[in-house]
Structure formats: C-alpha cells, structure tokens
Structure 1
C-alpha cells in the first residue's frame, strides 16, 4: 500500500440475560508492541500502519468523521470489506488507546471445570470454580488497559462456564482478537453458536481424542462425548467458524492416530501432540499416558516473552507469567493493573537455575554475555523435577549411572 501502509465504537453486552446487541465494529485499530495494526476479527490478514496513520484514525474516530479513503481502499484490498464512505469511522472501527504497560497478549482460564476427565490433562484435579460475573468483566477491563490485543480464552472447558457468552462478548466488544481452546462438546448449543457467529473468534482450537465413539468416549471418560463433539464440529463448520484441530495421541488412542488426523483435516488445520507434561501441581500422572512410539524430541527453549509482553490469568484473577510458571503470582483483583509491573521481575527470577538445576553450566552466560546452552524452560523443568520424571525428558544432562 502507499504512504507506508502495508497489508499484513464499543458496546457493552447485556449482563442481564437479555439478548445481546450485535457488535459495534468490523475493524480493530490498535497499537501492538512497537507496531500499529488494523485487524478484522475472524481473519488472518491485517493492515500495518505508520504511527501518523494511527493518530489520524484516532482523531477521525473521536471527531465522528467518516473513514478516510485510504482506509476504505485498504479494507477492500485486505478483506473485500466495502466500508460506507458516509458512515462515521467510530461506527465501523474501535480505535484502541496506547497502554503504558506493554502487554500485547494474554490467556484467561475462565474456569478450571471440565465435562471430560482425560487422563493426560495437565490441570490435574479440575474444579468448577471461578469469579463472579462482575469480577470477570473487571479482569477483562484490566487486560484491555494493559494493552492486550490477542486473548486466548481457555479452561478447563471454557464453553461450559455459564457466563461464557457474556464474558466472551464483552472481551470482543473491548476490541480484542479472540481465540478459544475447547473440547468442542458445547459448540452445537444455540446460545454458544449464536454468540460465536455474531462475534467470530480468530479461530477455535479444538482437541481430538479419538476417531470412533468407543475410543473417544473411553479417553474422555464421558459417555456420548464423541457424538456431541462431532455435532459441534459440523455446527461450527456450517456457521463458518475457523477451526484448528489438535490431535492428541496417547497410549489409549494411538491405534486411531491416522484416523484422527484424517478426521481433523476434514474440518480445518491439523496439529499433532504426543508429549505429555506433569500437572501444574507437579504430579507425574499424565506422563505414563504417552504413546512411546509417537514421542517427539521437544523443541529447544530459546527464551520467550512470558511476564514481559504476555501473561496468564487463572479463574481467580491471579496473574502469572504463563500457564506453567504460576507462582509467584499477582492477585490482580486486589492489586489492580499496577501489579502487572512486577511480572517482568518474576519472569526473570523464575528462569534462574535453582533447585535441581543449581550449578548447571548450560544456563550460564559466556564471557560475551551470550546466553548459555540450556534448552529447557526453567518453570517446565521444575514441574518435571517435582514429578520425579526421568531427567532425559527435560534435560540435556544424561541420567547418572547407577552406583554398583
């Protein structure tokens, strides 16, 4: 696009149980780290803006003026979206303000409860616990003010939370690009499907646990689960929702691995997961569920932005650097947004070599200040150590030879 532009209004939803009004925006204009973007929910492509264009759109929306011609042209080229040149920009796009907190992404565990009881689950014991509706809304306000543009809503199973439709709609209307991690069992329900159709997520990430009723129901320990899952897949596809299917291969369903992949590929993009982790409490129970023949070498850990530009919130509004490194955490409902300023220091501290990794030379920097050769995320290594897992599962050092 010309002038440095490259292709790459707000309504509170009903909190009273009444039908929710439709979304107030087609586009999101937002800072994202050091960039400025125009995005359209449910689509991959976007428009990257120079700062001056972002400022122009911000002023245009505030003044109630119509969209500039260059934005009309960009929307047509990027998404085939025909903006009305007479309509005020603020009726078409939500223009988000910059945030001094520097958070660009987050994940929100709306509720740990789940209608499945899968043996591989990293959450361990799953309880139906979470915050009341008003606190969920307050947490989302904090995330918006912190700069969060991309939000993953997860669980447990998020769609079984009785306040999911209102919570999801509120996050959408704040101007967030949303993804949902789900087992898909509730997707065919009218209140869920209508919410997601009116306010499309960027994509839904759905887990696949079997290709037949016997295997799927056995894995999830839930009779009728496979039927609900496939009905949800069909309903989501018919509604035009973008699906990403995550095939989970374990010792209980490995005999259907190829069939699960074929099922997943018939509905959307497919990814395969084979390695199980200990629970977040350091319980080794999920590890024996691995199918040995399908295990893959883990990708080397080369650092991440957890705690610096990303954070995780559990069902009680406790902010941590990620889903794995949950302690220390920050009680956002008590401390408010200022508490997020401490996350960067917590993240740096959690990556130090302590406990079972104390004295390890792989994690040390060399004389030039370059990072050491350790390829394991320290919080993840801690979970494996607490689970007393074999060292070869998470560490480059070989297990010591037994003394004879």
Structure 2
C-alpha cells in the first residue's frame, strides 16, 4: 500500500500523504521525473527523500519508488474535488435536516466501484464522503478502502453514531482520513437525543468521539445550533475546547433540497449570522457532487440538470461547466436586482429558498431593510 501520492492539482503538482492535510509542492519537471521512475524499478530520489523527511519525518532512503509512491495521471478536465453521497439513509431524524425524506437506496457495490473509478479518471484527489450517514452504509468500508487505494485524500462527513464500533474505528486508524468532520447536536443526552429524535444517540456519539480523539484522527467538529439546543452552545464550545479539536458553528438552516420549508422553524434567531457576499465558487468547474446513484451535479444544492456518470463515464463531465453557467443565471424575482453584486447566497440556494416560500430575511438583503 502506498504511503505517498504524487498528483496534479489544477496547475500545481503535489506530494500528499494519506490522512495528512500537509503537502509538498513540486515543479512540473520533478513530477514528470516521478512518472518515469514509477514505471520501472527505481530508488526514491534524494530530493524526494529530503522533502518528505522535512514535511512528515518519514524516511524513504533506499526504498523503491513503486513500494511507497502512487503517481496519479492528470484528468482530462480541471476537476480535483468532489463530494459523494454514498447513501441518503440515516439513523437520525434531525429536526433541521436539509435532505427531507431520507431513503436508503443507491448503487450496489459494483456501481460504487465504477463510480470511484470514474472519479479517479476525472482527476478527483480530494473526496468528501457524506450521506445521509455514510458509516451506516454496509458498503462504506470497502468503498472507503478503494478510494484510498485509488489515491484520494478523504474527508468523512458523519454524525459519529458508528465511531464506537471497533471495525469502523480500526479501519479509520489504519487508513486515516485527511479530515473527520463530525456534527455535534448538544452537550447533554436530553438535548442531543431531542434534536436527533433518536434515543441513546448522545451516548453513542460521546463514546465514538472519545475513541476517535484517542486514535489521533484529525477531527473537525460542526456545532449545529438550533432552537432545541441553543441553551447548550457554550457547553458545546467548552466540550470541543476540552477535547482540543477544531470546531465551527452552523446556525443558518436551509430548506430541504426539494425546496420545502420543514427545517426552517428550527433556526435559533439569536445565533443567525450574516453570510458573506457570494463572489463565485468552483461548483461545476473544479468541483462536482455525486448522489447515491452516481448522478453528477454542480453541487448538492444545484442538483438538476445532472449527468449519469455510470452510463456516461468521465466524458459526461464535459457538460458540467455549461450546467453551472445556466444555474447561476439570475431569473424570476432576482433578475435585475440592484443588490445582486453583494447577494449573500448563490442562485441555486436562492431558488431553494424561493421554492420553500421562505421569508426574505433568511436569504435576501431586501428582507433586512
């Protein structure tokens, strides 16, 4: 199993170590040298030995290139990042969930293998695996290991409910993700279980969280703030600081991806924040989203139109840039708006809010006047 990955990343060339957020940037000529060395028995060159030792304290002196390094070929487009909903099923029923109906369905393992191969061939190097809840998918362990073998840097977006299980934790300790993003819904069992509408959720989360910290995984906590847990925000912050892990807070709740308003009443008004002006994003240009059926869209909000990657393969992604341009056009009530230059949400998100008939204050500057 490789210990390092040499890969294109846009116009740059990088050396990455699975599970580490660090990187070594290479001149194109050095990357081409590694491509050539990887095709024949070769000893790791001295310049790479020195760079890797300095960045990760890892000694590659005298070792064979093929034993330690996976060299990724450039993809045909500019895509380097993707998110993948492995399944929309979830073991929680959170009051503020943006997914709406969480149906457990999607590709079988053969389809998942094909999708990951397409992502690899497209040039994806950073892959976020999400859901629903990804860790409850029976194919998650095999899918995760395969993505690792294909040379992807992995982030898992999870509620942490299965981290206490030994087979999950052992796999993540063996093949550590670059980031393990865990959602936190409260600081007590009463509150946590109320938000998730799942009895025992807090105890399972707490057990898995402590095990993950002990295993040295790179954890990033998402403190989800809603009406039901707003009184425990300070306690959640204190818990994260006590653990010594990074955390961020999310209080601006969105409608469901289907354009319905059920999650919005769960917002905690005193914790709502002003979004920064939207100045563009890489959706559909260097980034794409894949749903449980392998349908690629510009992001998890702008889901239509989409491209069936299982049927079309990498070539289908050539149309994604056009999809992004069409979805970002200002239409309906937003066309001709004089405040569009400082709009705080993208057009796909605005359309979801409009479909849900949400109050303007939730997404539009006109509602703040």
Do both share a fold (TM > 0.5)? Answer: yes
Contact 1:311 1:319 in 2 (8 A): yes
1:288 and 2:265 correspond: yes
Contact 2:275 2:344 in 1 (8 A): no
Question: Cα distance, 1:374 vs. partner?
Answer: 3.4
Matched ranges for 1:217-236 at <5 A: 217-236=193-212
Question: Cα distance, 1:153 vs. partner?
Answer: 0.2
Distance 2:134 2:237 in 1: 24
- Of 161, 169, 186, the match for 1:210: 186
1:380 and 2:357 correspond: no
Higher relative helix content:
2
Specify whether residues 209 and 375 from structure 1 end up closer, same or farther in structure 2 by C-alpha distance, changes over 3 A only: closer
Match of 1:395 in 2: 364
TM-score (norm 2): 0.97
Match of 1:12 in 2: none
- Of 84, 94, 107, the match for 2:83: 107
Match of 2:62 in 1: 86
Matched ranges for 1:2-401 at <5 A: 24-83=1-60, 85-267=61-243, 268-363=245-340, 372-398=341-367
Contact 2:359 2:367 in 1 (8 A): no
Give deviations 1:3-41, integer Å, cap 9, x for gaps: xxxxxxxxxxxxxxxxxxxxx111110000000000112
4+ long deviations beyond 4 Å: none
Distance 2:5 2:240 in 1: 31
Q: 5+ residue gaps in structure 1?
A: 1-23, 364-371
Distance 1:92 1:76 in 2: 14
Question: Cα distance, 1:190 vs. partner?
Answer: 1.7
Distance 2:241 2:294 in 1: 36
Which structure's CA Rg is the greater one? Answer: 1
Contact 2:278 2:342 in 1 (8 A): no
Distance 1:331 1:292 in 2: 40
Distance 1:70 1:145 in 2: 28
Distance 2:192 2:131 in 1: 20
CA RMSD of aligned residues (A): 1.2
Of stretches 104-113 and 332-341 in structure 1, the one that deviates more from structure 2 is: 332-341
Distance 1:229 1:399 in 2: 38
Distance 1:171 1:132 in 2: 16
